[in-house]
Amino acid sequence: MGNENPSYRDQKVITIGIVTELTGLSSRQIHYYETRKLIFPDRTPNGTRKYSFADIERLIEIAEKIEEGVQTLEIRRDIAKREKHKMIIGQINSHFNRNGPIK
């Protein structure tokens, strides 16, 4: 599946009201995590934030780490490392899918 058709987990269609119900976080906490660059919702033309199921999972993970005393800067670094790792794995998979295994 390519990026042009993201999986249901990655589609940003969930409003903040639903996110607060699912995560137990307040909209204020969620906005704070956004300002700390830990979460990246899409915005509709009128400015409404839209989240994905993957965002909800990330928010729950962030809240758990905050509760454990982890600082937002450390969380952001961890997220950046994981995103970089995913990107590298995606590039490797793309290479193998196009060219077959390296000989």
Domain ranges within the chain, ordered by starting residue: 8-99
* Alpha carbon distance 87, 51 (integer Å): 21
Position 24 pLDDT exceeds 80: yes
Position 88 pLDDT exceeds 90: no
pLDDT at residue 2, rounded to an integer: 44
Q: Which of 19, 58, 22, 27 is closest to 40 using CA atoms? A: 58
- pTM comes to 0.76
Q: How far apart are the first and last CA of the chain?
A: 26
Give how far the C-alpha of residue 94 lies from the chain's centroid of Cα atoms, to the nearest Å.
Answer: 21
The verdict on domain 8-99 having CATH code 1.10.1660.10 is yes
Helices 27-35 and 53-67, packing angle to 10 deg: 90
